[in-house]
Amino acid sequence: MRDTKARSVKCEFSSKCRFCEEYISKMPLTVGVYKGMYCNHDFVKCARYMVASDLGYELVPHELYPTHDIQARKIIAENEAHVKPQRRCTMTLEVRYAERPGYLLVRVCGKWEELDAKEEIEALREEAEKRGITRLFLDVRDMLPPESLMTRTATGGYIAKLLTPPFRVVALAEPEMIDGITEYSAVSQGAIFKVFADEKAAIEWLHDRTTTIIE
């Protein structure tokens, strides 16, 4: 499987999003450009997609244009800051997917238990294959620590078993959650996997093409 394989280029929110329909009579040329640039091509760069995939379509402001990416990031950051304290208290594991340029962002929050982790990694593989994406960014900063070290080891094993190369997986975790066990378990069993506490470094590593990947 490759990142470049044929995949749907239509925005997954096209059945809900009314932006183009509403604005086409007022500015037909611009809407035509938006459709070509975003809706039917590079939807991950659309400001409306960014907010919808992160927060849910209902939180996309009516007047947000596809080109308003700075505003979209602000809306996402403000909302994240508001909901974050509640998220880590969630008992069940909750996973949300959002496409970003070149990778799939996977936000995980809730309690880290072995069985749930296995099921979510299986679901992640299925989701990534469906979308034709092999670079995965796991944001696990809102996960609660597991009750035992065995859970960390087992999770690394599932990553290695289910997300085999060409999958390349990075996890972004709170510094106090990083002890190297999950990473060691996954990498020693063949996964291309690394854990970071720094988001910029994590994204750079994910995009690094100097590491050999069998595709």
Beta-carbon contacts of 98 under 8 Å, excluding residues fewer than 6 positions away, are: 50, 53, 54, 104, 105, 107
Determine contact, residues 167/134, Cβ cutoff 8 Å.
yes
Q: Please, what is the minimum distance in Å from the beta carbon of residue 18 to ligand SF4?
A: 8
- CB-wise, 44 or 177, nearer to ligand SF4? 44
- CB-wise, 51 or 173, nearer to ligand SF4? 51
- CB-wise, 68 or 152, nearer to ligand SF4? 68
Q: Tell me which residue of 131, 128, 185, 127 sits closest to 158, measured CA to CA.
A: 185
Determine contact, residues 122/162, Cβ cutoff 8 Å.
yes
Q: Please, what is the minimum distance in Å from the beta carbon of residue 183 to ligand SF4?
A: 35
Q: Please, what is the minimum distance in Å from the beta carbon of residue 154 to ligand SF4?
A: 38
State the Cα torsion 59-137-95-39 to the nearest 10°.
40
Query: CB under 6 A: which stretch of 11-19, 114-122, 138-146, 149-157 binds ligand SF4?
Result: 11-19
- CB-wise, 43 or 158, nearer to ligand SF4? 43
Determine contact, residues 118/152, Cβ cutoff 8 Å.
no
Question: Which position among 54, 55, 64, 66 is part of the footprint of ligand SF4 (CB under 6 A)?
Answer: 66
**76 touching ligand SF4, by CB under 6 A:** no
**8 touching ligand SF4, by CB under 6 A:** no
Helix (H, G, I), strand (E, B) or coil at 133: coil
**11 touching ligand SF4, by CB under 6 A:** yes
Sole residue written with tokens 């969630």: 90
Angstrom distances, CA of residue 25 to CA of 10, 35, 197: 22, 14, 47
**109 touching ligand SF4, by CB under 6 A:** no
Q: Tell me which residue of 179, 177, 172 sits closest to 198, measured CA to CA.
A: 172
- CB-wise, 39 or 143, nearer to ligand SF4? 39
If one counts every other C-beta atom within 10 angstroms of the C-beta of residue 206, the result is 20
Question: Which position among 49, 103, 158, 167 is part of the footprint of ligand SF4 (CB under 6 A)?
Answer: 49
Residues that bind ligand SF4 (CB under 6 A): 11, 13-14, 17, 19-20, 38-39, 43, 46, 48-49, 52, 66
